[in-house]
Amino acid sequence: MKAMDERPVQVEPARSARWKKHHAEDLAGRSYTFICVALLIVIIISIVYFVASKGLATFFRDGVSLSEFLFGTTWDPEGNNGEPMYGVLPFIFGSFATSLLAALIASPLSICASLFMTEIVPGWGKKLLQPVIELLAGIPSVVYGFIGLTVVVPFMRNVFPGQGIGIAAGAIVLSVMILPTITSVASDALSALPRGLKESSFALGATRWQTISRVILPTVLPSILTGVVLGMARAFGEALAVQMVIGNAPHIPRSLFESASTLTSVITLDMGNTVMGSAHSNALWSMALALMFMTFIFVLIVRLLERRHRI
């Protein structure tokens, strides 16, 4: 270090001072970002470690077998009917059913909205729709849940059999929540499309409909799917809004209009009332672990889609 510093001093003192200053700035910036990244990694690892250590205790300490946990259909952690049972299949089913259904409802709407903004009326359409969609993304989930409980649930109760509570109500609330995610990803992909693609399609005599359906949509399909998967991941992890409208009965429902549960709704419902370290609380942590695992899979799918997307 010393030897390196001395050489420029002999040549030109002023330049060396500047060099030293830039070098120091560089080093400071570098170490600062390194520390931030290290902190991030430490946080992530400790979260994963914490959830895993609590969640795995169900299997190693409380002696619940993995297959009983994943495929059991009876959830009775307090042991009201004899032995405590920790079957979470109804919740896994509920989580998948609500988020898939929500994606099914939201995807066509979002794709049409993004096509409208980028292809059909790029001028005022975008100016009008963009803020509206961004606003949707900013509404807190408790507000969605409350609206769901006061508007969607009574509506479902009047139109369909049952109490209006259930997977259908949950999926409707979730679909509005994931609309902005899918729309923004899809419209970003659409506006990033090379102009030449569209123009050559028009030059060959294709109509707008033909261009959109045969050229544009197939090209951006992987990106749109990325958006759908991201939306599903959000729906999968959403707790509060779903919990308010789904009914939370720990059973696989016979219809879309019967009380059901999701992984997240059960965790929020029971967390405060269980004692840390008890088998019940550990089972909730195991569900959290399952949720994290699912998120991991969603991220993996998105990565795969992105890799395929590179033209």
Which residues, numbered 285-304, are part of the site for another protein (CB under 8 A)?
none
d(CA 238, CA 265): 8
From 269, 274, 271, 272, select the one nearest 248 (Cα to Cα).
269
E strands, the chain, are 75-76, 85-86
Interface residue with another protein among 55, 94, 231, 253 (CB under 8 A) is 253
Query: Minimum CB separation from another protein for residue 77, in Å?
Result: 7
SS3 call for 278: coil
Task: Report which residue type is found at 265.
Answer: S
Interface residue with another protein among 62, 70, 251, 292 (CB under 8 A) is 251
Residue 142 near another protein by CB under 8 A: no
Which residues, numbered 229-248, are part of the site for another protein (CB under 8 A)?
243-244, 247-248
Structure tokens at 122: 């790029």
Report H helices in 192-278.
195-203, 208-210, 217-237, 240-246, 263-270
Interface residue with another protein among 54, 102, 216, 258 (CB under 8 A) is 258
From 10, 60, 21, 19, select the one nearest 282 (Cα to Cα).
60
Residue 259 near another protein by CB under 8 A: yes
Which residues, numbered 15-44, are part of the site for another protein (CB under 8 A)?
21, 24-25, 27-28, 31-32, 35, 39
- Output the CA–CA distances (angstroms, integers) from residue 211 to 6, 119, 137, 207, 223, in the order listed: 67, 10, 30, 6, 18
Interface residue with another protein among 1, 81, 203, 311 (CB under 8 A) is 81
Tell me phi and psi for residue 106, to 5 degrees: -80, -35
Write the interaction track for another protein spanning residues 155-194; mark x where CB under 8 A is met and - where it is not: --x----xxxx-----------------------------
The residues of the shown chain that bind another protein, judged by CB under 8 A, are 21, 24-25, 27-28, 31-32, 35, 39, 75-78, 80-81, 149, 153-154, 157, 162-165, 243-244, 247-251, 253-254, 258-259, 261, 268-277, 280-281
